[in-house]
């Protein structure tokens, strides 16, 4: 098999903790932060899949806002324009997972990139606010193909922009559906299974299952 020449990371849920919004959610809605964060994320993902299937693309900013509005209606939480702005702004300042910065720093000598459902504006703010703007050779958004993961057209963006073959890309995600989509496309896939979750039966198993991002450094597939 070809040597891995680039490592491509999912952003939301892999490098950045989407549930770091719980603190703000709890401040705005005391005692309701966790259910709001969980439903917001679940509906956000569901909307990306449904919009892809329907051919009715809207960017991740719009999808995230719609998922927030839905979640607040279901949980009977008042959502005014000020709260909307605060909660949407939290996505520009998501916390890095505790293992992310050290893991990225330990991967010198290999091209690093992000491939994400995020809109260019969201990703640009997120990477800059976390101080990683010099870390990645490319920050790639699905927006240019107007469809969300795990559509194969999304993964092709990485091969096109990085100038390498699918087999030369190591793809890193903690979302199993994303890992399976990347493997089905032909990437070498590292599934970050922090929660010891069971893999889904999708017929496309990752090449390696790691408990944390720092296990990437020195991994045999990268040698």
Which sequence positions are flagged as catalytic? Answer: 10
Which H, E and C letters describe 143-160, residue by residue? HHCCCCCCCHHHHHHHHH
CA distances from 133 to 35, 123, 140, 173 (A): 32, 10, 13, 20
CA distance linking residue 171 with residue 156, whole number of Å = 12
Q: Whole-angstrom Cα distance, residue 125 to residue 79?
A: 24
Q: Which of 177, 184, 135, 126 is nearest to 155 (CA)?
A: 184
β-partners of residue 171 are 8, 189
Give the 3-state secondary structure of 177-191: HHHHHHHHHCCEEEE
Q: Please name the residues in contact with 163: beta carbons below 8 A apart, sequence gap of 6 or more.
A: none
DSSP 8-state assignment for residue 10? -
How many angstroms from the chain centroid is the CA of residue 53? Answer: 19
Strands 95-96, 208-210: pairing is: unpaired
């Amino acid at each position: 098999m070809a040597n891995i020449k680039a490592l491509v990371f999912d952003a939301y849920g892999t490098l950045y903790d989407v549930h770091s919004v719980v603190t703000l959610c709890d401040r705005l809605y005391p005692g309701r932060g966790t259910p709001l964060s969980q439903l917001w994320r679940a509906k956000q993902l569901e909307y990306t899949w449904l919009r892809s299937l329907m051919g009715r693309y809207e960017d991740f900013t719009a999808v995230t806002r719609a998922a927030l509005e839905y979640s607040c209606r279901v949980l009977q939480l008042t959502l005014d324009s000020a709260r909307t702005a605060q909660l949407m702004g939290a996505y520009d300042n998501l916390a890095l997972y505790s293992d992310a910065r050290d893991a990225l720093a330990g991967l010198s000598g290999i091209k690093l990139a992000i491939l994400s459902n995020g809109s260019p504006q969201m990703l640009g703010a997120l990477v800059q606010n976390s101080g990683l703007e010099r870390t990645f050779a490319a920050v790639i958004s699905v927006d240019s193909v107007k469809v969300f993961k795990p559509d194969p057209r999304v993964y092709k963006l990485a091969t096109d922009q990085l100038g390498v073959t699918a087999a030369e890309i190591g793809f890193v995600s903690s979302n199993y559906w994303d890992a399976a989509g990347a493997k089905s496309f032909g990437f070498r896939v590292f599934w970050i299974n922090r929660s010891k979750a069971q893999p889904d039966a999708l017929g496309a198993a990752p090449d390696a299952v790691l408990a944390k991002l720092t296990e990437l450094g020195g991994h045999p597939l990268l040698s």
